[in-house]
Amino acid sequence: MTNLVRPHGREQLKPLIIRDKKEISTILEENKSSPTLLLNSAAAANVVMLGAGYFTPLDGFMDKKNSLSVATSMIMSDQLFWPIPIMNLTNSKDSLSVGDNIILLDPNVDGNPPIALQQIESIEKFSDGEIKLISQNIFGTNDSNHPGVKNFLSLGKTLISGPIKVFNYSYFPDVFPNTFATAFEIRQQLDSLGWEKVVAFQTRNPMHRAHEELCKMALTSLEADGLLIHMTLGKLKEGDIPGDVRDAAIRKMVEIYFKKNTALISGFGFDMLYAGPREALLHATFRQNCGCTHLIVGRDHAGVGDYYEPFAAQEIFENDLVSKSLKIKIFAADHTAYSKKLNKVVMMRDVDNHSKEDFVLLSGTKVRDMLSKGQDLPPEFARKEVADILKAYYSSK
């Protein structure tokens, strides 16, 4: 039995899923006349993460006091560190009352089936000022051009708090049967592999040569037992490559270019927030719950546009509260790119006498443009086998 890092805030994982199908049937029968609430996608993603143990040790949705405290100071009323409020926000509270058991409905599956039961402990309203305060603290901005802010401001101002019991993991096990995994399942896999020092790589994109080499650099530098390539499988922003295509591309890269039994490929059911430093902290927190000891945090981790300073997501881990609260550490990285001078992928900060022209650098827009035109990506930028999968996707659009 390996000695994995313990979960955040407690000795054992706390998944909120009900595994007994009969128990779920009984709950649904007992609550067949209970009120229902159709969740937004953000709240539904929170349900999946709570059910799968990723958000250990939380027991459900935060109330107003805790949401504001987490947003402003990253501390809950019981002194637990948590980086981003986990909320059930809605535009409607018709027919809901404190003390009710309500059936939460899944917005992302046809027919909106039940996904969880929530016991309502409070129904509270945020003012416009409080919503802006939360947004400013999570995203560092209230600019509605920021995709995370735009989505957050659309969720509503009524907060339904209380513990939940989760019935299922929404569409993720069906759509991503070989990739979606719970935190408990990942811990089991790490345990069976005998890994103890594990570095996680967060991705919402296919992995190009630079990502591949960055992961190998981290494995070597940390003398880690293995790498968890952990994909965001939830909703992304327009233009991002779909999860199934990304999954196929990453699996092909690992199959050919990684040493056997050094990389575990998995995914989690959460929507990207594009919240930069705060999201990096959330990524680290739930990777600790998976059993990882390190998280690769590069330039502009979980960022979008120019909203965050390049290394802000690394610097936030130097905060005393963060360093005292989390057991997981970061592998701080700069951009990696192929050096034409050295004929290999390097971390850009580690090489001298290089100008921008000495690296093979392609923007996401340029990559998408080339792929959509059926053009080959430079071999210094992408493995051919990966590029072929991406070309096939773009040619089918």
204 flagged as catalytic: yes
Q: How far is CA 221 from CA 215, 218, 282, in A?
A: 10, 5, 24
Q: How many CA atoms lie within 13 A of 17 on its CB side?
A: 20
Q: What gap in Å lies between CA 313 and CA 302, rounded to an integer?
A: 8
Q: What radius of gyration, in Å, describes the C-alpha atoms of the chain?
A: 21
Q: What gap in Å lies between CA 246 and CA 242, rounded to an integer?
A: 6
Max distance between CA atoms of the chain, in angstroms, equals 71
Q: How many CA atoms lie within 13 A of 364 on its CB side?
A: 11
Residue 323, C-beta contacts closer than 8 angstroms, at least 6 positions apart = 317
* 57 within 8 A of 8, measured Cβ to Cβ: yes
Q: Count each helix (H run) and each strand (E run) in the chain, helices first.
A: 14, 15
The three state secondary structure string of 292-360 is CCEEEECCCCCCCCCCCCCCHHHHHHHCHHHHHHCCCEEEECCCEEEECCCCEEEEHHHCCCCCHHHEE
Burial class (CB in 10 A: 0-12, 13-18, 19+), 222: middle
Planar angle of CA 155, 305, 217, nearest 5 degrees: 110
DSSP, residue by residue, 196-232: -SEEEEEESS---HHHHHHHHHHHHHHT-SEEEEEEE
| List 6, 204, 251, 368, catalytic entry | 204
199-211 core/surface letters (b: 16 or more CB in 10 A; e: else): bbbbbbbbbbbbb
187 flagged as catalytic: no
Cis peptide before 57 (omega within 30 of 0): yes
| List 101, 112, 205, 319, catalytic entry | 205
Tokens of 317: 């881990």
Active site residues: 204-205
